Amino acid sequence: MKNTPRLICLLLAAYLPNELLASKYTDSILTKSTAAKGVLRCGKTPLKDAHVWLFRNTTLQDDDILDYVVTGPDGSFSLEGHTGGRPSENMGIKPKLRFFHKCDHTKDSYRAFNFAYNETYTNLGRITRKTFDLGEFNLQLQMPGETTEKKLYEGKPKKFE
C-alpha cells in the first residue's frame, strides 16, 4: 500500500487528456510577470487623470495589455501583470508603458507616448519579484516619438485565466 499515491497519479495521467496536462504545465513553466510604478508630474504638480497601460511587448495590441490604471490626485501609478493563461507563443514579455495625458495641453486631445523598460524587470511566474520604478516623471517635457491623439486609447486588459 506504500505505492497507492503513485498508482493513483499514474491512473489519473492515463485518463486525463494530454492537452489538459500539457497546457497546465506549459502555462506554469512559461508564465512571466512584470511590474512598474512611478509618480507623474506636470512641473511641480502631481498629474491627476493620466492614463497608463502596461503592455507585454512592443506591438501595442489589445491582447498584449497586462494592466491599466488612471493616476489619482497624487499622480502615482502602479501596474502589474503576467502572461498566465495565454497561448504559449504569447508568453514572452518585452515590457512597455503607454501614457495618455493632458499636461500643458489645452486642446481637446491627449499627448501620448510609449516608454519601454528593460527585460531584467521580468521574471518567471505569476508574482513579480522586481518592480521597475520610473520615479518622479515630469511630463512637461516633449518625449521622443510623442504624438497627439484626438481619442483616448480604450484598450483594457483581457482576462486569460
pLDDT at 152: 79
User: How many residues does the structure list for the chain?
Assistant: 161
**pLDDT < 70 regions, the chain:** 1-28, 155, 157-161
Domain spans, the chain = 31-149
**For residue 36, which amino acid is it?**
A
- Return the DSSP state at 158: P
Q: How far apart are CA 99 and CA 70, in angstroms?
A: 10
* Burial call 36-52: b when 16+ CB within 10 Å, e when fewer: bbbbbbbeeebbeebbb
pLDDT at 158: 64
How is domain 31-149 classified at the architecture level of CATH? Sandwich (2.60)
- The reported pTM is 0.78
> DSSP letters of 22-54?
HHHHHHHHH-EEEEEEEEEEETTEE-TT-EEEE
